[in-house]
Amino acid sequence: MAEIRLPKARRGRPRQAEVARLAGVSQTTVSLVLSGNKQGIALHPDTRARVLQAARQLGYAPDPAAQRLAAARNDLLGVFSFTATFPTDVAHSYYPILVGVEQEAVARGYDLVLFTGSSSAPARAGRADALDRVRLADGCLFLGRHVPADELRRLVEQGYPAVHIGRRDELDSLAWVGADYAEATAEVVRRLAALGHRHVVLVCETDEALASTDRERGFRGALAQTGLTGEVVRAADPAAEITGEWVRSQLAAGVRAFVAEETDTCAAWRALLTAVEDAGLTAPADLSLALLGAPPADLAHLPEPTGFDVPKAELGAAAVRTLTALLTAGAADCSPLVPCEFRPGRTAGPAPHP
């Protein structure tokens, strides 16, 4: 098999000094000409031409490392996720977000550095701790709620530009972007109200995620606003508590609309679907169902749930915008909420008149 060998002349790369020598000017002048003369300094056209000619002749290209050292920035944005950025199993976890991150970063002239917290790199002596490593980038995005709070706090308090994707309240001064779960949930309730529903039950899991409390807040707010009555059921073990019997009793009490929150496992939603089936009922004929988020991939064959979609790409893009604002202006709005899009779906319909 053939072999590729690197040319030994690694130092043979032309530098500004050599261009200067060829053009008969100083290296400073070369820098001035080649960097586009942003300072508006007057330059003799001949000098300019000679420099450009010499640079072309030598095939000069600036060394990005040197440029970035001098400019005290490297146009790098970090993306840190505690779980693997590219998980082998859950192929699509952060992917949609990364789409938005990359697009927005590219549009703003930044490159991306990927950091994975869970990765067990061979312990190289002197290597910075997991989170400190991100400092190599001008700023960093953090994904997922598993980012260690204390290390993150230190980073932020030392003035490192960081933006968390997903709500993160416990750290004051930490910028974050998140989806507007409250408003999206409220919209779902309003839609149900418009369909004639008077009673709505929200099924949650006991996971105390911030997104969960957001949804509950939006739920209660919309109830008050629309004059509906409703209840929040927090099930530690949805599969056990949300049964066909439970559904029947709710129907007996006049409830015709059930809303479940989306989680990693979507246990609440799954339990609800199973319970409805066990009760021998169908949506949207007998009752209405809604999912506060997107259904898991393995449920893709079922009728599309009424609910809302979190615009994940937009979330990533918003995070980049916030981070670059931090970078360039030194400040940014701390919590731009990205609106979710209502998804009509096919699991909710008019409330049967009693």
Under the criterion CB under 8 A, does residue 113 sit at the interface with a copy of itself?
yes
- From candidates 72, 121, 236, 297, binder to DNA by CB under 7 A: 72
**Considering the rule CB under 8 A, would residue 136 count as an interface residue with a copy of itself?**
yes
- The C-alpha atoms of residue 76 and residue 137 are separated, in whole angstroms, by 5
Q: Binding of DNA at residue 9 (CB under 7 A)?
A: no
Of 5-13, 87-95, 162-170, 279-287, the window that binds DNA (rule: CB under 7 A) is 5-13
Distance CA 257, CA 193 (A): 10
Residue 145 neighbours by CB distance under 10 Å:
14
**Contact region with a copy of itself (CB under 8 A), list: 1-9, 246-254, 267-275, 339-347:** 1-9
| Angle in degrees, 0-180, between the axes of helices 95-107 and 312-329, rounded to the nearest 10 | 40
Contact criterion met (CB below 8 Å) for 257 and 197: yes
Mode of pairing for the β-strands spanning 341-343 and 306-309: antiparallel
- The helix or strand, by DSSP H or E, that contains position 141, with its residue range, turns out to be strand 139-143
332 binds, among a copy of itself, DNA, none (CB under 5 to 8 A by kind): a copy of itself
**Beta-carbon contacts of residue 19 (< 8 Å; ≥ 6 apart):** 27, 30, 34, 51, 54, 55, 58, 60
- Tell the residue number behind the tokens 């944005």, with chain if given: 77
Q: Which is nearer to a copy of itself, 91 or 252 (CB)?
A: 91
Judged by CB under 8 A, does residue 225 bind a copy of itself?
no
Residue 283 to residue 291: CA distance in whole angstroms: 13
Calpha distance 184→261 (Å, rounded): 12
**Rounded CA separation 12/315 (Å):** 45
76 binds, among a copy of itself, DNA, none (CB under 5 to 8 A by kind): a copy of itself
- Which member of 21, 34, 76, 241 binds DNA (CB under 7 A)? 34
3-state secondary structure of 338: strand
Q: How far is the CB of 62 from DNA (least distance, A)?
A: 4
What span, in angstroms and rounded, lies between the C-alpha atoms of 88 and 56? Answer: 46
- Which of DNA, a copy of itself, none does residue 17 bind (CB under 5 to 8 Å by kind)? DNA
For residue 49, state whether it binds DNA (rule: CB under 7 A).
no
Residue 128 touching DNA (CB under 7 A): no
Task: Name which of 321, 320, 273, 323 is nearest 296 in CA terms.
Answer: 273
Phi, psi of 124 (to 5 degrees): -90, 135
Q: Report what 251 binds from a copy of itself, DNA, none; CB cut-off 5-8 Å by kind.
A: none
- Among 40, 109, 227, 354, indicate the residue that binds a copy of itself (CB under 8 A): 109
Binding flags for a copy of itself, 314-333, as an x/- string (CB under 8 A): ------------x---xxxx
Query: How many Cα atoms within 13 Å fall on the side-chain side of residue 130?
Result: 17
Query: 346 touches which of DNA, a copy of itself, none (CB within 5 to 8 A by kind)?
Result: none
CB of 269 to a copy of itself, least distance (A): 23
- Residue 38 is a binding residue for DNA (CB under 7 A): yes
- Does residue 41 touch a copy of itself according to CB under 8 A? no
41 lies in the site for DNA, by CB under 7 A: yes
Among 1, 5, 8, 46, binds DNA (CB under 7 A): 46
Residue selected from 47, 83, 243, 274 as contacting DNA according to rule CB under 7 A:
47
328 near DNA (CB under 7 A): no
The answer to whether residue 85 forms part of the interface with a copy of itself (CB under 8 A) is: yes
* Structure tokens belonging to residue 233: 């059921």
If one counts every other C-beta atom within 10 angstroms of the C-beta of residue 154, the result is 13
**Residue 1 touching a copy of itself (CB under 8 A):** yes
Contact flag: residue 7 with DNA (CB under 7 A): no
Give me the residues that bind DNA (CB under 7 A), please: 11-13, 15-17, 24-29, 31-32, 34-35, 38-39, 41-44, 46-48, 60, 62-63, 66-67, 69-72
